[in-house]
Each structure stands twice: as structure tokens, then as C-alpha cells.
Amino acid sequence: MKKIVNFIWQWKLFSLAVIALLVSLPLYFTGLHTAAYIILAIVSLSEVFPLLWDMVTDIRSGSYGVDILAATAIVAAVLLRQYWAAIVVVIMLTGGKSLEDYADHRALSELNSLLSHAPTTAHLIKNKKQVDVKASEIKVGDIFIVKPGELVPTDGVITSGQSSFDESSLTGESIPLVKSEKELLLSGSINLDSPVTVRSSSSAKDSQYQQIIKLVESAAASKAPFVRLADKYSIPFTLIAYAIAGSVWALSGHAIRFLEVIIVATPCPLLLAAPIALISGMSSASRLGIIVRTGSALERLAQAKTIAFDKTGTLTSAKLKIDKVTSFNGFKNNEVLTYAASLEQFSNHVIAKAVIAEAQKEKLKLVKVKGLKEIAGLGLKASLKGQTLVVGRASLLSQEGIKLPEDLVHPKQANTIVYVGLADKLVGYINLSDQIRPEAKKTLQTLKNLGIKHFLLVTGDNRQVAESVGSELGIEDISSDELPADKLKTVEKYPDRPVAFVGDGVNDSPVLAAADVGIALGARGSTAASESADMVIMPDDLSRVAAAYLIAKHTFKIARQSILAGIGLSVILMVVFASGHFLPVYGAVLQEVVDVVVIFNALRAHTTKYVSEAI
């Protein structure tokens, strides 16, 4: 009973119309025609007002409400004493709006379920004792315990213990991951079997889970593009409907003929199909760990002709291998590594991770530096006992006035190289290699089959490495040695648009923001990147790019198909009813059938089965 009351209250207008119909039917059949008609007329007309009000606010906010046809139909039906037809149009219209609300609601409820899974408490270790505190009170460096079955309160590193963790709410990855000492835990993941001790690496507010909530919030707040899609069709459609209805009236001399046409022209599918398809598409994407921030991003991705890829960490896996360390000017190999790691410990770059790991393996003691600065796309700089220490690209060392031997500036082998310089001397360099991701080749092939015309490779790495990766993957358009600003220009000036850019996020923020669609892969990268991206793919899996593209295309195909089918069926009905052989109330009922069919078609965008089949 409570449910029914809630339903009626939530969808008042729709319920009122249905109740009016249910009350007037028995009245009519017991001979009380006038009473039935009065109820129908009052309810129908009173529901026109909220409709008109919505229309006014719509027009003010810049979108043209196509509801005007429906409002005309209701008023005309009452004036022409077609009360049954009037109430059916009202039911159809308010029912449609309720459905739209419901779809909106579902997007919001996804957000709510995220919020309700947000970690709230933590078992902090303070003076060797366990104290329970709010997750929001955890500071960087705090030690806490996560027991089995509990959520990890903030991002952090395991200091003792081992357990498996379910990260599915973060990355969409359903297989639990075993993590032990020194490994990173993400807030919001669930500890599945044994207790672990963790040192927090960021506050709750800056942790992964809150970042995701922020992303989803911004996604839920945007739904602009579908209005545009429907707008494109709605104005001509409205004009045509009035033209047909007006001419039939003029030719026959009967106002009822006008109504017969207008009633079947009420373009509910036009209003509903697109938003329903969009919301369904976005939520199916999120089930695969793909967070789409705006509907218009999904639309641009559906139309993308070109995809540009960052190399390191995107086409290649985020784990680099150290191949060789070479020293110069009397320095030792271990010094090269020590200096490099002393700076890299403050960087998020994939190169940094590899260097730090190597230094740890060699058990090197790092040196203390001052005034550390990371120069995006170039490397790091700091001062060591009054001398400048730099780690990064050849050009960064040149900037510091360090001369490199010619064969180092233009190396022959396809190898990522990081140089280390102290004061005006070259200390040495580290050769690293990265492996192309196992899924990369297939992903590019799938994207090509699905309709992407061009692939670009834009990287800060050197020409040789870029070309070897490019040729292995069949990418011809290669831009190498690019700074973040150059990447932006390369993507911005590329002629065949829209261009999507896919990057791991490190040093990619400007180009992610500037591309028609910026896609950040593996949201473990910097949060700055996920803020400038239009889409964030949580799992560290390149094939989800193809999934995102496929979902975008599929969603828009369904949206367009639903709109066109709705219009097509309405036009056919208009022509049929223009003949004057059918009562308006049948028209209203038939139109309702069209709506339901179209809306159910739009809901097809909710599945993800087709994605797993194609990718």
C-alpha cells in the first residue's frame, strides 16, 4: 500500500490522469455521460498548465519544447468535446515524462549506490593502540588496519600482511587481486580475506574513490546533447504536423479533422528516446569501468574519425624494464641510479617507478635534495649540496648547459633513455624498454573495423622508440619528442576530426582537455589528468577504448533510430488519420503504442553483451 501511495505521489500528474480515466469509465457506462465528461475535461485542461509551464522554462533555457503539439492536441480535443482522446494524450504525455524521470533517477541511484559504498571509518593505529576514527580524519602517513570484509578507507601502501582485494567498484575488474607488502591499495576496494596494515598515501578526499564519485557526479549533471539531437528533428516535424493538420481542416472545413491529425503527431518518442538511450549507454559503459563525464563526449566519440595515442603507459604497458646503466666522467653506475632515484621518488611517471624499483633492488641509499621541480614531459630538477641535479630528456640537460656526445643526442637504438646530469657534467644514462601491451594490436584492429580512419602516435619519447612501436602496430602518423604543449598542437591541428586522444594521464592533461574527446586510461595516474579528461577508463586495459567507442556508436545509433522510427510512424499515422475515417481517440491510443515501442527500443542501449562479443 505504501508503495502505491509513493508511486502516486511521485508521479502525481500521471496518476491523476489514470484515476480520472478509471473513475469516468464506469460513470459513462452507467449513463452519467456528462459527469464523466466533466471530470475528463477538468483533469485534461488542468494538466495542460504544468505542461505549458515546462515549455516556457524549456524555451528560456534555450531548448524548444516540442510539447506544444501535445498541448494543442489536448486543448483542441476538449474544445471539440473529444474528452476520451484528451485524457489518453494526457496519460501518454505524463507517462512519458515519468519514464524520463525514472531514467534520470536510475542514473542518480547509481551515484547513490557509489556514495553509500564510500568508506566511512578507519581503524587508526595510534601509540600502538587501535582507535576508530572517521575516514575523513586520516592524514597522509597514518597507519591503519583493514580487516576482512571492510572497505579500504584511503589510498595507501601495505606495510604488513597479505590479502586479496575486490576492486570491482573502482575498476570494473571482477577478479580479486592478491596484494602484499609495498603494494598500493585503492580506497573503496574491499578486503576479502585477512587483515593488513596500511600506510595512507593520501587523504580520503584525494583518494581514488572520492575522485570517482566526483566524476560520476559531473556525469550525472550533464545531459545536454540529446536535447540537441531531438531539436534537430523537432522543429521541422512540428511545422509539418501543423501544415498537414491545417490543410486538412481548411480543405474539409471540419475542425475535428485538424484534431485527428494533431493527435497522432504528438512527438513523445522524439523527447524521450534520445535521453533514455543516452542514460542507458552511459550506465552500460560504467559497468565496464568506463566513466563518461558528459553525454556530449559520448556523442563526439561516436563520430570520431581519428584516435591519437600517447605511447608510454598507453600503447605500451605501464611497467618499464631497466636494460642498462652507463656512467660518464668518472661516476659509477650505482651513482647514476642513486641520483636518478633520489629525484624520481617524487614523480608519478612510469619511468620513475622503474628507476625506484631498480634502486631498491640494488639497496641504494638515496641522497637528500632541495627545491625539487618536475618539468612536465622533460624530467626533474633539484639542488644537491648547491649543485643542480637533473634527470630526464637530453634537451633538459642541454638547457642546463651540459654537453652530450653526438651519438647520445641522436641514439641509434630504439630505447627510451633517461639522462642524469650534475652541475655541468653528464653523470650517465639509463636505457629502459617498454613492452607493447598484449591487447594493443587487437584493439587497434577492432577500432579500425568499427570505423576509425586514422591513428596517431604522439609521444615525448624519441623518434627511434616511437617508430619501432608505430611500425609494430601499423600506425603511420607518428609525432615524437613532443612536449605536452606540442602534443596539444599536434592533436589540435589534425584535420580529420573529431579526434579522440587516449593517454595514461601522466603529462597529458593539456592534450586530454584540448582533444575533442580526452580519454584517460587506468585512473591510477594523476588525478589532474582525470579531471581534464572527458572519459576515464578505470581498468588498466587498452581494449576498453574499443569498448567505449563501440558503446558510443551503438548508443547513438539506437537514439537516432528511435527518433526516426518515431517520426516515421507518426507521419504514417498522420496521413492515415488525415483521411477522416477514424476517431481521434483511436489515434491517441495508436500513438501511445508507437511511444512504447520506441522507448523499449531505446532501452536496448542498456546491454553490454554486444561489447563482449565484438571485443
Q: Which residues bind ligand ADP (CB under 6 A)?
A: 310-313, 344, 347, 349, 351-352, 377-380, 391-393, 416, 418, 459-461, 506-507
Question: Which 3 state secondary structure label does DSSP give 158?
Answer: strand
Q: What is the closest distance, in whole angstroms, from the C-beta atom of residue 548 to ligand ADP in the complex?
A: 20
Reduced to 3 states (helix: H, G, I; strand: E, B; else coil), residue 185 is strand
Nearer to Mg ion (CB atom), residue 414 or residue 450? 414
* Count of CB atoms situated within 10 Å of the CB of 130: 10
Q: Which does 380 bind (CB under 5 to 8 A by kind): ligand ADP, Mg ion, none?
A: ligand ADP
CB of 503 to Mg ion, least distance (A): 6
Instruction: Decide which of Mg ion, ligand ADP, none touches 351; Cβ closer than 5 to 8 Å per partner kind.
Output: ligand ADP
Q: How far is 490 from 494, CA to CA, in rounded Å?
A: 6
Q: For ligand ADP, give the closer residue by CB, 65 or 392.
A: 392
CA separation, residue 454 to residues 480, 504, 543 (Å): 17, 20, 17
Q: Which does 212 bind (CB under 5 to 8 A by kind): Mg ion, ligand ADP, none?
A: none
CA dihedral 43, 45, 47, 50 (to 10 degrees): -150
Q: Which does 349 bind (CB under 5 to 8 A by kind): Mg ion, ligand ADP, none?
A: ligand ADP
CA separation for the pair 285, 135 (Å, rounded): 29
Q: Which three cell numbers stand for residue 203?
A: 587523504
Residue 460 binds which of Mg ion, ligand ADP, none (CB < 5-8 A, kind-dependent): ligand ADP
- Select 346 or 582, whichever has its Cβ closest to ligand ADP: 346
Amino acid letter, residue 294: T
Site string for Mg ion, 364-403 (x = CB under 5 A): ----------------------------------------
Judged by CB under 5 A, does residue 24 bind Mg ion? no
The smaller minimum CB distance to ligand ADP, of residues 168 and 433, is found at: 433
Choice between 47 and 504, CB closer to Mg ion: 504
Smallest separation (angstroms) from Mg ion to the CB of 471: 19
All three cell numbers of 304 = 570520431
Nearest to 567 by CA among 274, 360, 329: 274
Distance from C-alpha of 431 to C-alpha of 205, rounded to nearest angstrom:
37
**CA-CA distance, 205 to 218, in Å (whole number)?**
16
CA atoms 368, 371, 374, 380: torsion sign: negative
Q: Which of 119, 115, 108 is nearest to 165 (CA)?
A: 119
Tell me: does residue 555 bind Mg ion (CB under 5 A): no
Shortest distance, CB of residue 314 to Mg ion, whole angstroms? 6
Q: Which does 379 bind (CB under 5 to 8 A by kind): ligand ADP, Mg ion, none?
A: ligand ADP
Q: Which does 416 bind (CB under 5 to 8 A by kind): ligand ADP, Mg ion, none?
A: ligand ADP
Long-range contact pairs involving 424-427 (C-beta distance under 8 Å, separation at least 24): 424/400, 425/328, 425/329, 426/328, 426/329, 426/397, 426/402, 427/327, 427/328, 427/329, 427/331, 427/335, 427/336, 427/339
- Nearer residue to ligand ADP within complex by CB, 269 or 377: 377
Residue with cell 591487447: 439
Distance separating alpha carbons of residues 455 and 542, to the nearest angstrom: 14
Per CB under 5 A, the segment of 36-44, 67-75, 501-509, 566-574 that binds Mg ion is 501-509
Q: Shortest gap between Cβ of 609 and ligand ADP (angstroms)?
A: 34
Distance between CA 502 and CA 481 in Å, rounded? 17
Nearest residue to ligand ADP on Cβ basis: 460
Query: How many C-beta atoms surround the C-beta of residue 472 within 10 A?
Result: 12
Residue 421 contact partner, candidates Mg ion, ligand ADP, none, CB within 5 to 8 A by sort of partner? none
Indicate which of Mg ion, ligand ADP, none lies near residue 393 (CB less than 5 to 8 Å, by partner kind): ligand ADP
175 to 195, 522, 568: CA distances (angstroms): 19, 16, 46
Residue pair 269/571 in contact (Cβ under 8 Å)? The answer is no
CB of 543 to ligand ADP, least distance (A): 19
d(CA 250, CA 136): 70
Q: How many residues of this chain interact with Mg ion, rule: CB under 5 A?
A: 5
Q: Is residue 200 within 8 Å of 210, Cβ to Cβ?
A: no
Of 99 and 519, nearer to ligand ADP (C-beta) is: 519
Contacting Mg ion within 297-336 (CB under 5 A): 310, 312-313
The residue among 282, 342, 261, 317 whose CA lies nearest residue 551 is: 282
> Which H or E run contains 574?
helix 543-578
Pattern 502-521, Mg ion, x by CB under 5 A? --x-x---------------
Three cell numbers written together for 443: 584493439
Q: In the bound complex, what is the minimum distance in angstroms from residue 360's beta carbon to Mg ion?
A: 23
Cα dihedral across residues 94, 96, 97, 98: positive or negative: positive
Q: Enter the C-alpha cell of residue 489.
A: 598542437
DSSP class of residue 368 equals: P
Judged by beta carbon, residue 292 or residue 506, the one nearer Mg ion is: 506
C-alpha cell at 66: 516540442
The one of ligand ADP, Mg ion, none whose footprint includes residue 541, by CB under 5 to 8 A per kind, is none
Question: Rounded to the nearest 5°, which phi and psi values hold at 30?
Answer: -95, 10
Tell me whether residue 110 or residue 504 sits nearer to Mg ion (CB atom): 504
Decide whether 538 or 588 has the Cβ nearer to Mg ion.
Answer: 538
CA angle, corner 361, sides to 525 and 203, nearest 5? 35
Q: How far is the CB of 93 from ligand ADP (least distance, A)?
A: 52
Question: Rounded distance, CA 493 to CA 308, Å?
Answer: 12
Nearer to ligand ADP, 97 or 311 (CB): 311
Q: Smallest distance, Å, CB 511 to Mg ion?
A: 10
Q: How far is the CB of 350 from ligand ADP (least distance, A)?
A: 8
Nearer to ligand ADP, 153 or 392 (CB): 392
CB of 566 to ligand ADP, least distance (A): 46
- Binds 391, which of ligand ADP, Mg ion, none (CB < 5 to 8 A, cut-off by type)? ligand ADP
119 vs 313 by CB, closer to Mg ion? 313
Q: Report the interface residues with Mg ion, using CB under 5 A.
A: 310, 312-313, 504, 506
